[in-house]
Amino acid sequence: MRHWWVNQNQTFEQETRGGYLWSPKRNANDHRNPFYEFMREVAPGDIVFSFYKTRIHAIGIAESYCYECPKPAEFGAAGPNWANVGWKIDVRFALLPSPLRPADHMHVLAPLLTEKYAPLRPNGHGLQSIYLAALEPAFAAALLALLGPEARALANDAGVADRPFEQSRAPGQGQTEWEEYLVDKIREQPIADTEKSALILARRGQGLFKQRVRQVEVRCRITGVDRIEHLRASHCKPWRDSSDSECLDGENGLLLTPTIDHVFDRGFISFETDGRLLVSPVAHRPSLERMGVPVGERVNVGAFSEGQRRYLEFHQERVFLEARIKT
């Protein structure tokens, strides 16, 4: 379990009421932002401290890994330069009866601030440039001590290690709803029914897209399964992010068994362009092992075509659950 600090001066009401965190993937200039990148390393059961108007007003428990989702409509005019698609994490928030003003306790907190990516100034004022920041255990423990027994009880409940974390909703539901919306938009397009069908089937890794991937791939890169009825054509650049032509481009695909397709699509694994298997630091390794991913080995799955390498670069940069800027 990790602890996170989120500055929500623009979106506190929307995020705490809606039960989520949302950030763009990049800055307006398309450069990486470490405080957006950290969204990729939150895991279910992690604790989130919500800072708003100089005080910690809520504490939350993450209920999902991050996933792609459009900017929430309820944000309205907030973040006019934010991209339309970003990262979302489902979070169960609890408002605190007595919000804490960190500036009143900097004699305790200031010595525990890190030199890099600290969420506060030494005087206790927040930093508008920061959205999400990881907290050192000592700093998180000090905050919980200051917040009182209710916050500590919530954190302790989330941190019980000998049982699965209980989620209150289907994780990543927003991504499924978004894809259903995109399917409906395809149905409304003024194109032939055969084209609509091909694009919709491509979402499930079937139809024309699968035929084209078979011209590039012959088996699952991880499990070695080569029976086509047991394989799904998985997009390297996700269907939800692809243009119509990219949705059906065979080089935008890998043939994977359904479980491997799932962990690849959600960013728990990826591949370097030279064929090296990458495993996300937030992935539940025992589960991956049970699904056939050799997480304890150095694995190279073989060469990719030039087109596949281009799409895999997108997957690493925009899907894989690992912050590209490290603390």
* pLDDT tens per residue across span 209-232: 999 999 999 999 999 999 999 999
Residue-wise pLDDT tens digits, 181-211: 889 989 999 999 999 999 999 988 899 999 9
How many other β-carbons are positioned within 10 Å of the β-carbon of residue 10? 16
Q: Are 237 and 252 in contact (CB under 8 A)?
A: yes
Are 314 and 324 contacting, i.e. CB atoms less than 8 angstroms apart? Answer: no
3-state helix, strand, coil in the chain (%, to 5): 40, 20, 40
Q: Looking at the whole model, is its pTM more than 0.85?
A: yes
Strands 232-235 vs 277-279: parallel, antiparallel or unpaired: unpaired
Q: How sure is the predictor about 129, in pLDDT bands with cuts at 50, 70 and 90?
A: confident
The angle subtended at Cα 100 by Cα 94 and Cα 106, nearest 5°, is: 140
Model confidence at 163: pLDDT above 60: no
Report the distance separating Cα 51 and Cα 56, nearest Å: 4
153 or 197, higher pLDDT? 197
Q: Is the dihedral of CA 120, 59, 327, 175 positive or negative?
A: negative
Phi, psi (rounded to 5 degrees) for 171: -65, 140
The pLDDT of residue 156 is above 80: no
Task: Lowest mean pLDDT of 163-167, 242-246, 282-286, name the range.
Answer: 163-167
Give, for 199, the enclosing helix (H) or strand (E). Answer: helix 193-203
Mean pLDDT of all residues in 235-243? 95
What stretch of H or E contains 271? Answer: strand 269-271
Helix (H, G, I), strand (E, B) or coil at 56: strand
Domains of the chain (ranges; CATH) run: 3-172 (3.10.590.10), 189-318 (no CATH)
Q: Which amino acid is at 98?
A: S
Asked if 143 and 30 count as a contact pair (C-beta separation under 8 A), the reply is no
